[in-house]
Amino acid sequence: MRLLLVEDEPAVREPLRRTLEQAGYAVDEAADGRAAWQLGGVEPYDAILLDLGLPVLDGLTVLQRWRAEGVKTPVLILTARDQWHEKVAGIDAGADDYLAKPFHSEELLARVRALIRRAQGLASPVLTCGPLRLDTRAGRVTCNGEPVTLTSHEYKVLAYLMHRPGTVVSRAELTEHLYAQDFDRDSNTVEVFVARLRRKLPAALIETVRGLGYRLAAA
């Protein structure tokens, strides 16, 4: 999953980025409102973490512009502002959730997971597809009740597909959502990870839709 982290203070942004990357997310960064507005308007993020007190353009204006332009990416506001009317303004501008600083990293990660699930219409933190179960909280995968050992990249590919059961996902989409903007991307790498997953899981779970991509199917 790929996130945009918008925070102007390096002392805050860098530890947050490390926390998110250690949790398995690909993270792009923006240090001012204009850069955030431009990135959020063109890049396919799974969620955006947005500070309100930004230089150039404030976070509320950025959020309002995104929503006016049809950007539907889930947005979690991160700010030291904790007065109730500012929370209301953020939600009314189109934010999906609000977290006031300071906060625990565990709460931040839980809210990000929930945002991404809800965006796909998923309620439970445990995703299922036929005999396959993926616990997004613990990063654990089981098949027919037996644990499945995956590398971090195999897990990321599977998690993205399991957030979109029954949906055809192209190799290009997988690549865009698994790697940050400055990563040297190669869509052929996705084929390698899918092949490895098929060796560890029932092969029929991940279907190849010729010319289009991959689909996770329960049957």
The reply to whether 159 and 115 lie within a common domain is no
Q: What are the tens digits of pLDDT across the range 174-190?
A: 999 988 876 665 657 88
Give buried/exposed letters for 189-217 (b at 16+ CB in 10 A, else e): bbeebbeebeeebeeebbeeeeeebbbbe
**79 and 42 together in one domain:** yes
- The domain spanning residue 52 has which CATH number? 3.40.50.2300
Mark which of 101, 119, 137 sits at the end of a domain. 119
Q: What is the pTM of this model?
A: 0.89
Same domain, 10 and 94: yes
Q: Are residues 75 and 130 in the same domain?
A: no
Instruction: Answer whether residue 81 shows pLDDT above 70.
Output: no
> What's the DSSP call for residue 203?
G
pLDDT at 94 over 70: yes
Domain extent, residue 80, equals 2-119
Dump pLDDT digits (tens) for 3-51: 999 999 999 999 999 999 999 999 999 999 999 999 999 999 999 999 9
Residues 142 and 105 in one domain: no
Query: For the domain that residue 131 is a member of, what is the CATH number?
Result: 1.10.10.10
Which residue among 119, 152, 177 closes a domain?
119
Same domain, 27 and 104: yes
Q: Which pLDDT belongs to residue 101?
A: 84
Please tell me the total count of domains within the chain.
2
Residues 107 and 133 in one domain: no
Smallest CA-to-CA distance from 1 within 135, 103, 115 is with: 115
The answer to which of 15-24, 63-72, 150-159, 174-183 has the lowest mean pLDDT is 174-183
pLDDT of residue 145: 93
The domain boundary residue, chosen from 66, 93, 119: 119
Q: Based on the domain organization, do 149 and 176 belong to the same domain?
A: yes
Lowest pLDDT segment from 33-37, 126-130, 145-149, 203-207: 203-207
Q: What is the mean pLDDT of residues 95-108?
A: 92
Q: How many CB atoms lie within 10 A of CB 156?
A: 21
Q: What is the pLDDT of residue 64?
A: 96
CA-to-CA distance for 117 and 174, rounded, in angstroms?
Answer: 17
Q: Are 74 and 101 within one domain?
A: yes
Tell whether 18 and 112 lie within a shared domain: yes
Q: 85 with 183, same domain? A: no
- Determine what percent of the chain is predicted with pLDDT higher than 70: 95
Task: Considering only residues 121 and 35, tell me which one the structure prediction assigns the higher pLDDT.
Answer: 35
Indicate whether 132 and 62 sit together in one domain: no
